Structure 1
Amino acid sequence: MTEPQSALLLRRQLAELNKNPVEGFSAGLIEDNDLYRWEVLIIGPPDTLYEGGVFKAHLTFPKDYPLRPPKMKFITDIWHPNDPNGDSPANVDAAKEWREDRHGAFKRKVARCVRKSQETAFE
């Protein structure tokens, strides 16, 4: 039985990521026999509130990828509006706090998430 085109593409993309890593990002399969479920680690970028954080997420690709996008779910707690457009956030509470108290409560919650991510990064 031949492999679906989406599996061939995902295999190629994962091999490319391993051959030419992207700074601050790594990816691998959750289970060796399932190309459609990846675990990714995102390192908080320098000079941001997230610096030093190690944030784990799972990507689940549909069988008709790339016609439909993957779904991404953070496994590590992260306090972030999840949208560069503060007027249309995915996390309304984080966006409100970012707008109203960016250097106070928002910054403290992000710092807690970064510390927790470092403690649980390799569990």
Structure 2
Amino acid sequence: MTLQLQSALLLRKQLKELSKHPVEGFSAGLVDDENVYEWEIMILGPPETLYEGGFFKANMTFPKDYPLMPPSLRFVTEMWHPNVYPNGDVCISILHPPGEDRFGYEDAGERWMPVHTVETILLSVISMLSSPNDESPANIEAAKEWRENYPAFKKRVQRLVRRSAEM
């Protein structure tokens, strides 16, 4: 069986699992039924966080060699967060390719492993929204504001949450 066929079967299985047993905090589906490698995700802002009440749309793109390599996740809804690049790309350890980090920030055990599923990835993203890691920020401006001017950061996030709920 080819790697691509295996990955497509695995992704279909994960999608079926998520529709049978939805996980609180997000929903997932295919952007187009013909392409199992492009998913549309809706993440609900986690309760008791600045993002509470928000509806954040994201796209998850899987490589053909999934689960050996991680998918990428990009917010389509505007996002202000230390671990989300200005273009919406999410930067968390489990989405980084497996193996040693050439910069030495991450332990190999924190990076991508084939045991991760769509569910574990999205639960990590929800956790990231709850507690940003400002040690190695993807969005330096957001991290700086989070550290140095929390009231301004909070106000900006609340505006995004309101806007996302209106869409």
Provide the residue aligned with 2:70 in structure 1.
69
Unaligned runs of 5+ in 2: 84-91, 93-131
Give the letter for the 1:101 counterpart.
N
Render the CA deviation track for 1:42-83: whole Å, top value 9, x for unaligned. 000111110000000000000000111001110000111116
What's the TM-score, normalizing by structure 1? 0.92
Matching residue within 135, 152, 156 for 1:109: 156
The answer on 1:94 being equivalent to 2:142 is yes
Matching of residue 38 in structure 1 with residue 39 in structure 2: yes
Any runs of at least 4 consecutive aligned residues in structure 1 with deviations exceeding 6 A, and if so which?
A: none
2-side partners of 1:42 and 1:75: how far apart? Answer: 11
Percentage identity across paired residues of the two chains:
65
Give the AA of the match of 2:60.
Answer: L
With structure 2 as the length reference, what TM-score do the two structures score? Answer: 0.68
1:62 & 1:96 partners in 2: Cα distance? 33
Structure 1 unpaired stretches of 5+: none
Structure number with higher helix proportion:
2
How far residue 85 of structure 1 moved from its aligned partner, in angstroms, is 2.4
| RMSD (Å), alpha carbons | 1.6
Larger relative contact order, structure 1 or 2 (CA cutoff 8 Å, min sep 6): 2
Aligned length: 119
